[in-house]
Structure 1
Amino acid sequence: MDTTPDLSRRRWLRGGLGAKGPAQSLPWAVPWPQFSDGCTRCGDCLRACPEQIIVTADGGFPSIDFSRGACTFCGACATACAEPLFSPRSDSPWRQYAAFHDACLAQKGVHCRSCEDGCEPAAIRFRPRLGAVAVPELNEAACNGCGGCVAACPVGAIHMVKEEQA
C-alpha cells in the first residue's frame, strides 16, 4: 500500500496537502490530528467493513466513500483497529447531516425521490407543492449521517456536512 502523501499541484490547488484529514472520517474516530498520529495505515478497517465503503485516501489513511453505499454503524472498523483511535460505541458515531446541491433533479423540476428511498432513518421527505415537483426537505435532527442518500442519488447532488463540535 502506498502511504506517500499526494504532493501534486492538482492536490495543492484543490485545497492543500491533506493536513485537514480525509474527506470523511470513520464513525467513532477520534479527531484528525490524533487519528493521523496513531493510524498505522494497515488497512484492517478496510478489510473489516462489510459494506466495503472504506477506501484508502490521501497518505494511505482510511476514509468513507458514501458513493459506494451507506454506513450501517456495525462498528467492524473500530473493532478491527488495534490502535486506540475510536471513541466508545455508546457515543454518537459522528455529527453530520446531508445537504443538497443545485444539481438535484427534483430542484430542477424532474421527478426523483431516490434520496428518500435510500434514507433509512426517514430524515428526507418530499412535501407536495402545488403546480411543481416536490423537492427534498431534510430533518437534520433525524439524519444520522449514514450516507444512504448520497449513494442513492443518481446525479451526486448530496454531500455530508459536518456539524461543528460543541
Structure 2
Amino acid sequence: MFDRSRRNLLSRRRTPALPRMPWVVDEDTFVDSCTRCNKCVNACETQIIVKGDGGFPIIDFNRGECTFCTRCAEACPESLFRPTTEQPWGLKAQITPSCFAHNKIECRSCGDMCEVQAIRFKLQAGGVALPELDTDACNGCGACLSVCPASAISMTTKN
C-alpha cells in the first residue's frame, strides 16, 4: 500500500495562481482530463485564456475581461465544463488598500469599466470618492483588474 499524500507532493495538482475558465469542473478532474489541446485558448474572444503551469489553460485578467461568451466550453473536446446555464464561477473582485482613491488620489477607472455597476463611488466631504464593491453584483469578469493603474484589484474565490 502506498501513501497518497506523499505521491501528491510530486504531482502537478496545485491550485493555480490564476483561475481556470468559467464553468470548469473541479480542479482534480480538470488536471486529470485536460489534454492541453489549446482549443479553449484559441477560442477565447478576448484572448485572456493562456497557457499556465504545465501547459494547462488559465485566465489572465491582466490581458482583459471575461465576457462569458461560452466559446471555451464549446471548443473543449473533453467533459471539463459544467452547463453554461449555471453560475460561471465564484470569483469576485477585491479592492486592496493600495487603491489610489484610498490614498487620496482621484481615480475611477475600475468603476468606469464595471458593466454590472458592482463598483460605485461614495463621495467624501473634503476628499476623493471611495470605491465600494457590491460583491453580490460582481460577476467576476475581471474588467476592473486590467485597467487599475495601481494594481489594487485582485480576483478572489467567494463561495
Task: Give TM-score scaled by structure 2 length.
Answer: 0.90
How many residue pairs align between the two structures?
A: 148
- What corresponds to 1:160 in structure 2? 155
Q: Distance in 2 between matches of 1:22 and 1:28?
A: 17
Provide the alpha-carbon RMSD of the alignment: 1.1
1:149 equivalent in structure 2: 144
Identity %: 49
For residues 117 and 134 of structure 1, the distance between their equivalents in structure 2, rounded to whole angstroms, comes to 13
Measured against aligned partners, the alpha-carbon deviations of 1:7-65 in whole angstroms (never above 9, x if no partner) come to xxxxxxxxxx6612352110000010111110001111000001000111101110101
Q: Residues of 2 paired with 1:77 and 1:151: CA distance?
A: 21
Equivalent residue, structure 2, for 1:129: 124
Query: What does residue 8 of structure 2 align with?
Result: none
In the alignment, which residue of structure 2 is the partner of 1:119?
114
- The answer as to whether partners of 1:22 and 1:57 remain within 8 angstroms in 2 is no
The gaps in structure 1 that reach 5 residues or longer are 1-16
- Answer whether contact 2:13 2:31 (CA < 8 A) is retained: no
In structure 2, C-alpha distance between the alignment counterparts of 1:56 and 1:141, rounded to whole Å:
30
Q: Which residue of 2 aligns with 1:47?
A: 42
The answer to whether the aligner puts 1:72 opposite 2:72 as a matched pair is no
Which consecutive segments of 4 or more residues in structure 1 shift more than 4 A?
A: none
Task: Indicate conservation of the 8 Å contact 2:24/2:81, yes or no.
Answer: yes
Summarize deviations over 1:109-159 as a string: whole Å, max 9, x none: 100000001111000000101111111100111100000000121121101
The residue identity in structure 2 corresponding to 1:91 is E
Equivalent residue for 1:107? 102
Give the Cα–Cα distance (whole angstroms) in 2 for the partners of residues 144 and 19 of structure 1.
Answer: 24
| Matches of 1:96 and 1:83, distance apart in 2 | 23
Distance change (3 Å), C-alpha of 1:89 and 1:155: same
CA distance in 1, matches of 2:114, 2:128: 19
Letter of the structure 2 residue corresponding to residue 126 of structure 1? F
Output the TM-score relative to the length of structure 1: 0.86
Question: Residue type of the partner of 2:89?
Answer: W
Does residue 95 in structure 1 map to residue 90 in structure 2? yes
Deviations 1:92-113 (A, max 9, x none): 0001211012221111110000
SS of 2:155's partner is strand
Q: Structure 2: which amino acid aligns with 1:39? A: C
Separation of aligned partners in 1, 2:16 and 2:147: 25
